[in-house]
Structure 1
Amino acid sequence: MSDPSLSPCPPVSTEAEIVSQLSGVGYSPARPLLHFARSVSLQHGWTVQELWWQIPGGFSHFTVDDRIAWVERQVAEAMEAEAGACRLVVGKSLGSLACGIAADRKIPAAWLTPILTIDHVAAALQRATEPVEALGQVVSRLDRFIGSLGRCGHPAVSARAGCSR
């Protein structure tokens, strides 16, 4: 992988089942939610690819579309380095900007505190055809999202509010 802003696990054979873990801005894979998700994945024989963001200077001034493009580019490059072996995505906050990639590639996902205030994230979750778990802290936003899924009869997405760090 040529992009120095990522430091994923080394590529593995395409026979492995890989979980790609996408961190948050200030929430690395070493923090509890992703650490425990990694532990469970390893216990079940999965290989874990951790993406540790190296946030570029000026990122706080990026537009929402630029942030989405940056995250999607990082995630797509990491997945391509694994030759299509990614079978599950676990993402925290900033990582949820890659919901569209998981949906488009038909990869099941667990999103920990997804950024539901960004239309791109909510739309990607709604178009997912594989199982998706969305866990969030802000009950009112997640409840509205859950309600919208129920109204459209979406079978693949399960959402829960009240998750803590």
Structure 2
Amino acid sequence: MSRVAVVLPGGRFGPHAPLLMYAADAAEARGATPHHVTWDPPYDPAALPLERAERWVAEQVPAGDLLIGKSLGSLGAGVAAARGLPAVWLTPLLTIAPAATALRRASAPVLLVGGTADPVWDGALAREITPHVLEVEGADHGMYVPGRLARSAEILGRVATAVEDFLDDVVWPA
């Protein structure tokens, strides 16, 4: 069975940043071919209207089986909802009304991942949208936590495991 996992980056880093790389690797290990989308140039979510982002994502994204997005990539949530695609949204823009509205329209299961020190994360809203939430105490928008880098690397591992469990238990159960 051929699957496609479309990877939508955040505004600052490309689709191969660690959070996205591990999420795409998890999908690839389950038979999906990653399709990496890039923003050129990097964009600020406040300057990119939702309709334009959704239209751009819809044009760039081939038929897929899963969307994986980081931050700005969560502006593709309307495309996921319209196409009935499951999605993994890493640090989605929950405090930006158009993005939150698009995420609420999800018509397939979604995993939301964020940290309590991220100004665009809203844990209560995330739990309203989906039962599939990984919220990390003290993690910022990059999913870094204070202290030694090894602690943030542990968080990266937790995110990777949450994505694997979501894919195995919800999206593509055996």
Flag whether TM exceeds 0.5 (same fold): yes
Equivalent residue in structure 1 for 2:23, among 9, 25, 37: 37
Which residue in 2 is equivalent to 1:160?
134
Which residue in 1 is equivalent to 2:51?
69
How does the TM-score come out when normalised to structure 2? 0.68
How does the TM-score come out when normalised to structure 1? 0.72
Equivalent residue in structure 1 for 2:60, among 78, 90, 114: 78
Identify unmatched segments of 5+ residues in structure 1. 1-14
Which residue in 2 is equivalent to 1:137?
115
Which residue type is aligned with residue 22 of structure 2? F
The share of aligned pairs that are identical, in percent, is: 33
- Secondary structure in 2 matching 1:136: strand
Paired residues, number? 137
| Contact 1:87 1:107 (8 Å CA) reproduced | yes
**1:31-77 residue CA offsets vs partner (Å, 9 max, x unmatched):** 11111112122211111100111127xx55x855x432332222111
Which residue in 2 is equivalent to 1:123?
101
Equivalent residue in structure 2 for 1:103, among 75, 81, 87: 81
Runs of 4+ in 1 over 3 A off after TM superposition: 138-141
Identify unmatched segments of 5+ residues in structure 2. 145-174
Which residue in 2 is equivalent to 1:49?
35
Which residue type is aligned with residue 77 of structure 2? C
| Contact 1:100 1:125 (8 Å CA) reproduced | yes
Which residue type is aligned with residue 75 of structure 1? V
- Secondary structure in 2 matching 1:133: strand
Which residue type is aligned with residue 69 of structure 1? E
**1:116-136 residue CA offsets vs partner (Å, 9 max, x unmatched):** 111122122222121011101
